[in-house]
Amino acid sequence: MAEAQACYKRAQEKERAGDFAGALAELERAIQLAPGSVDLLNARGNAKLNLAELESALEDFQKSIALNGNSFLPYANKAIVLYGLGRDEDARAAQAQACALHTQPKVLADKIEGMGRTARTVERGKQLEGGQPAHADEYVARAGYRMKKKRHDEALKDLEAALKADPAQGPKGVYQAMAGIAKIRKEWKQELECYRRWAEAAPDQFEALNAYAWAL
């Protein structure tokens, strides 16, 4: 059990660093050592969710619920994955179960729905792999999937294509995503440039001005 906990700790460190593939590898080892751990199953499901492996993540959350159905967390995670997969009716049922076990159901419901929308966008981007996006929203979706997979050069090309197709996408999240990639790469001047473009495109948007100010 001590070795399983050591793997879990390393997985948490890798996840904080954005290395979800590395976190998943550590969690696979931990679960081999402690196959009945609810916490490890939830953590592995989250790592898979962050890697856009939704069907496999769903299996882990369902196993976790089977072992312990008294925690809101696996129900919430299950709902996020189901929203991502477009299974809205099942997602709402899991969301209701999660909220029934939580002290702030409205807050939790809003969080689940927000993360569910993100998961659905990424899943949509995954389906566009190997194809040709038809409009700006599809470029943004595919960029989100490619960012999950650490394919940053490809993601940046998609984000620039989205801006070319529809400049209004910039203040809606494209500039922020581009800045995020620059930050991961420690390209500070490029990060600043992304925030500058965002602030100039949306001078009345608090988030844009605040991000640009902090970067400066």
Cα angle 216-207-14, degrees, rounded to a multiple of 5: 80
pLDDT at 1 over 80: no
Residue type, 47: A
Q: Are 151 and 133 in contact (CB under 8 A)?
A: no
Model's pTM, two decimal places?
A: 0.85
CB atoms within 10 A of CB 205: 14
CA distances from 30 to 7, 34, 49, 64, 153 (A): 5, 6, 18, 15, 33
pLDDT digits (tens, 9 = 90+) for 27-85: 999 999 998 899 999 999 999 999 999 999 999 999 999 999 899 999 999 999 999 99
- Please report, for residues 68, 69, 114, 124, 155, the alpha-carbon distance to residue 106 in angstroms, rounded to integers and kept in the order given: 23, 20, 12, 27, 34
